[in-house]
C-alpha cells in the first residue's frame, strides 16, 4: 500500500520523554532562550523542538526503583527542591544477605549501596513534573506517538516516521485510519530507553556497536501500601542471596516511601543458563522471605511493572553520534550497573546532547563531525569518571557470583582496571543450556494475597492496548518455536516474559505459539532474551502499554 504521509519539519526531534529526553528538551530550550535574549543570531525557537512519547501521558511508561542522585537535576533546575516531587530523602542504607529463612545485615554498607544525599522518588511523578517544565518553555510535546521507523539520510538520520494509527489485526485500514507522520529534523535524538527499537536498528545498520554487546537485567517491581510503622520513609535496603542462586547475578530492593508505601523489586541479569527460569516467579518467591512477609502482612499491592536495564556500561556504549542524530540515556548505555543508578546519567547525557545540538544549530552544521562534540563532552564530564570506574564490573559476574566478587574487589582497588581490561562479555542469550528432554516446570500460581500470578500482576500494571491492531511482537519464523525451540530450550519466552504474553498452545493436535500482545508491559525482555534472536519488538499504536502511575 503506498501511503501519503503528512510531513512536518523541526529543528530537533526527541524520541522518548523519559529523564534523558526531557532533560535534553529543557536544557536546549533554556539555552535557546538565553541566546535569543542576548540578541545573538541566528534566532532559534523552542517551538521547533518536538518530543514524542508513546505512552498515554508523560510518565506512563517510566519505571525504576527509584533512587535519584540529584547531581544532574541540580544543574538543570537549580531550585528543584522547591517544586520537584522528591518523595523522601534516603535516611538509612542497608545491605542484607538472605538465606531462605533468615537475614543478616552487613555491619558496613558497601560504598556502591550507600545513598546519603539521594532521594527515593517515583520516576512517573518526576518525569510528569519535568514534562510540565518542558511544556512551559514552548517545546512541542506529543504524547501517544511512537517512532516506528527512522528516516535514513547522509551517513545518519533525518527524522522518524510515527506509527500508523487505525490498522486492524491484519494490517488493513479501519475507519479511523491515520497514516504516521513523516517528522523531519536537523537533529534527531534517540531517547527511547532501554533496548530502543530505533536505536537497535541504527546501531546495527551503521555498525555503531562497541567491543561488548549490551548486557541487560530485568527488574520486576511492585508498589505496596503497608500497615503504618512497617517501613520508615527513606529506608533503603538491597538484598543479596536467596532466592537468586550463586550462578546468577541479581538481587532485591526495598525502598520506603511516604504515605506507608514501599517499592519492592528484584532485578535479574538476563544471562542465566536455565532457559525455563522464571524471573517473575523468582520475584514472587522472594516476597515470601520472612523480612518481606512481615513487612507486607496486612498491606495491599498498588501497582506492578517490569523493565529491562542496560548493564553493559562503558564497553557496551554504542557510538552515540551520526549525521543528524544522537543517542542518550538508557538507549546509549548510560547506567552505572554497580550502583544500579541511571537517572542522573541519563539526564546528564540529555543535557550534554542539548549543548551539542545548540552549538550545531548556531553553526548550521549537524554533521557527525560537528555532533561528535557530544562524545567529547561526555569524556570531560562525571559520566566518564563514574562509568570508567565500573567499566569491567558487570562482565565479572557473567561466570558466577563468587568470581564476580573477586574481580570486582580488585577493580575497586585499581580504579576499574582489575585483572583483565577490557573484560569481554557475551550476549546474555548465549548462556542458555539445552533442556535435554527435561519436562516443563510447574508454573507459579501465587496465593492472591502476598504473591500473584502474572495475569494478576499485569492487571495491576494498568496495561491496555487496542486489541484490533497488528501484533507489535514480530516473530520472524514461528516454526522455529514449534519445532526447534520446544525441544532445544523449552520455549523460554513462556518463562521470561513477566506479562504472560507468550504461550505454546495446542490447536488441532499441533503445538503453536500464541501471542497475547495486549498484555505487553513494554519491558523488551523478549527482544533481548530469545535464544534465536527472532523476536522483534516494534512500537504498537501510541497510547498503548502500561500506566505506571505513582511508580
Phi and psi dihedrals of 318, rounded to 5? -70, 160
Query: Which of 10, 14, 60, 499 lies at the binding interface for ligand SF4 (CB under 6 A)?
Result: 499
Cα dist from 294 to 68, 227, 230, 240, 340, whole Å: 27, 10, 8, 18, 26
Phi and psi dihedrals of 158, rounded to 5? -135, 20
- In whole angstroms, the minimum distance from the beta carbon of 320 to ligand SF4 comes to 24
Should residue 120 be labelled a site residue for ligand SF4 when binding is judged by CB under 6 A? no
Should residue 270 be labelled a site residue for ligand SF4 when binding is judged by CB under 6 A? no
Task: Name residues whose C-beta falls within 8 Å of residue 356's C-beta, 6 or more positions apart in sequence.
Answer: 321, 326, 371, 373, 374, 377
Binding mask 47-76 for ligand SF4 (x = CB under 6 A): ------------------------------
- In whole angstroms, the minimum distance from the beta carbon of 502 to ligand SF4 comes to 7
Applying the rule CB under 6 A, the residues between 398 and 427 that interact with ligand SF4 are none
- In whole angstroms, the minimum distance from the beta carbon of 496 to ligand SF4 comes to 6
Measured from the CB atom, the residue of 131 and 546 that comes closer to ligand SF4 is: 546
Q: Are 249 and 403 in contact (CB under 8 A)?
A: no
Binding mask 340-379 for ligand SF4 (x = CB under 6 A): ----------------------------------------
- In whole angstroms, the minimum distance from the beta carbon of 524 to ligand SF4 comes to 5
Should residue 513 be labelled a site residue for ligand SF4 when binding is judged by CB under 6 A? no
- Cα separation, 116 vs 377, whole angstroms: 27
For 49, the enclosing helix (H) or strand (E) is strand 49-53
Q: Are 330 and 20 in contact (CB under 8 A)?
A: yes
Half-sphere exposure of 336 (CA within 13 A, CB side): 24
Should residue 537 be labelled a site residue for ligand SF4 when binding is judged by CB under 6 A? yes
Report how many residues bind ligand SF4 under the rule CB under 6 A. 12
Should residue 461 be labelled a site residue for ligand SF4 when binding is judged by CB under 6 A? no
Q: Which stretch binds ligand SF4 (CB under 6 A): 353-361, 437-445, 481-489, 520-528?
A: 520-528
Written as nine digits, the cell of 172 is 488493513
Measured from the CB atom, the residue of 220 and 347 that comes closer to ligand SF4 is: 220
For 251, the enclosing helix (H) or strand (E) is strand 250-257
The per-residue DSSP string of 113-157 comes to G--TT-EE--HHHHHHHHHHHHHHTT-EEEET--EEEEEEETTEE
Binding mask 467-486 for ligand SF4 (x = CB under 6 A): ------x-------------
Query: Which of 31, 334, 524, 547 lies at the binding interface for ligand SF4 (CB under 6 A)?
Result: 524
Written as nine digits, the cell of 157 is 538520520
Residue corresponding to grid cell 503497608 = 226
Query: Which of 226, 352, 383, 521 lies at the binding interface for ligand SF4 (CB under 6 A)?
Result: 521
Task: Name residues whose C-beta falls within 8 Å of residue 110's C-beta, 6 or more positions apart in sequence.
Answer: 95
- In whole angstroms, the minimum distance from the beta carbon of 125 to ligand SF4 comes to 23
Binding site for ligand SF4 (CB under 6 A): 473, 497, 499, 501, 520-526, 537
Amino acid at each position: 500500500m503506498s501511503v501519503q504521509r503528512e510531513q512536518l519539519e523541526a529543528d530537533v526531534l526527541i524520541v522518548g520523554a523519559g529523564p534523558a529526553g526531557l532533560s535534553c528538551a529543557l536544557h536546549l530550550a533554556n539555552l535557546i532562550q538565553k541566546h535569543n535574549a542576548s540578541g545573538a543570531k541566528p534566532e532559534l525557537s523552542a517551538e521547533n523542538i518536538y518530543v514524542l512519547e508513546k505512552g498515554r501521558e508523560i510518565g506512563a511508561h517510566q519505571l525504576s526503583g527509584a533512587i535519584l542522585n540529584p547531581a544532574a537535576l541540580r544543574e538543570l533546575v537549580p531550585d528543584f527542591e522547591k517544586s520537584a516531587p522528591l518523595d523522601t530523602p534516603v535516611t538509612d542504607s542497608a545491605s542484607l544477605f538472605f538465606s531462605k529463612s533468615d537475614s543478616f545485615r552487613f555491619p558496613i554498607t558497601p560504598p556502591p549501596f550507600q545513598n546519603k544525599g539521594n532521594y527515593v522518588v517515583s520516576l512517573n511523578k518526576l518525569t510528569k513534573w519535568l514534562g510540565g517544565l518542558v511544556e512551559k518553555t514552548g517545546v512541542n510535546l506529543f504524547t501517544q506517538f511512537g517512532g516506528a521507523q527512522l528516516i535514513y539520510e547522509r551517513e545518519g538520520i533525518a527524522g522518524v516516521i510515527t506509527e500508523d494509527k487505525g490498522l486492524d489485526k491484519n494490517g488493513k485500514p479501519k475507519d479511523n485510519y491515520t497514516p504516521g507522520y513523516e517528522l523531519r529534523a536537523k537533529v534527531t535524538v534517540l531517547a527511547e530507553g532501554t533496548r530502543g527499537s530505533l536505536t537497535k536498528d541504527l546501531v546495527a545498520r551503521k555498525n555503531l556497536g562497541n567491543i561488548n554487546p549490551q548486557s541487560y537485567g530485568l527488574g520486576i517491581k511492585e508498589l505496596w501500601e503497608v500497615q503504618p510503622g512497617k517501613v520508615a520513609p527513606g529506608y533503603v535496603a538491597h538484598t543479596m542471596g536467596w532466592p537468586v542462586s550463586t550462578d546468577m547475578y541479581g538481587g532485591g530492593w526495598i525502598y520506603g516511601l511516604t504515605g506507608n508505601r514501599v517499592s519492592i523489586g528484584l532485578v535479574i541479569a538476563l544471562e542465566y543458563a536455565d532457559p525455563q527460569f522464571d524471573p517473575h516467579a523468582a520475584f514472587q518467591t522472594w516476597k515470601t522471605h520472612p523480612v518481606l512477609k512481615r513487612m507486607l502482612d496486612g498491606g495491599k499491592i498498588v501497582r506492578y511493572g517490569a523493565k529491562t536495564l542496560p548493564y553493559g556500561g562503558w564497553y557496551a556504549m554504542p557510538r552515540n553520534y551520526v549525521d543528524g542524530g544522537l543517542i542518550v540515556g538508557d538507549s546509549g548505555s548510560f547506567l552505572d550497573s554497580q550502583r544500579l543508578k541511571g537517572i542522573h546519567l541519563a539526564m546528564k547525557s540529555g543535557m550534554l546532547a542539548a549543548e551539542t545540538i545548540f552549538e550545531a544549530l548556531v553553526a548550521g552544521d549537524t554533521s557527525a563531525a560537528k555532533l561528535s562534540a557530544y562524545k567529547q563532552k561526555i569524556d570531560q564530564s562525571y559520566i566518564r569518571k563514574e562509568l570508567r570506574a565500573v567499566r569491567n564490573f558487570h562482565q565479572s559476574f557473567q561466570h558466577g557470583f563468587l568470581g564476580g566478587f573477586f574481580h570486582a574487589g580488585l577493580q575497586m582497588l585499581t580504579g576499574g582496571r582489575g585483572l583483565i581490561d577490557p573484560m569481554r562479555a557475551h550476549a546474555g542469550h548465549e548462556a542458555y543450556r539445552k533442556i535435554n528432554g527435561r519436562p516443563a516446570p510447574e508454573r507459579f500460581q501465587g496465593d492472591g494475597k502476598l504473591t500473584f500470578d502474572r495475569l494478576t500482576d499485569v492487571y495491576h500494571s494498568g496495561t491496555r492496548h487496542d486489541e484490533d491492531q497488528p501484533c507489535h511482537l514480530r516473530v520472524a519464523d514461528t516454526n522455529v518455536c514449534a519445532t526447534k525451540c520446544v525441544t532445544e530450550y523449552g520455549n523460554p519466552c513462556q518463562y521470561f516474559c513477566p506479562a504472560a504474553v507468550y504461550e505454546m498452545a495446542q490447536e488441532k493436535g499441533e503445538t503453536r505459539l500464541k501471542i497475547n500482545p495486549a498484555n505487553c508491559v513494554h519491558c523488551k525482555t523478549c527482544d533481548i532474551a530469545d535464544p534465536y534472536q527472532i523476536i522483534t519488538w516494534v512500537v504498537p499504536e501510541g497510547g498503548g502499554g502500561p500506566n505506571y502511575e505513582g511508580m
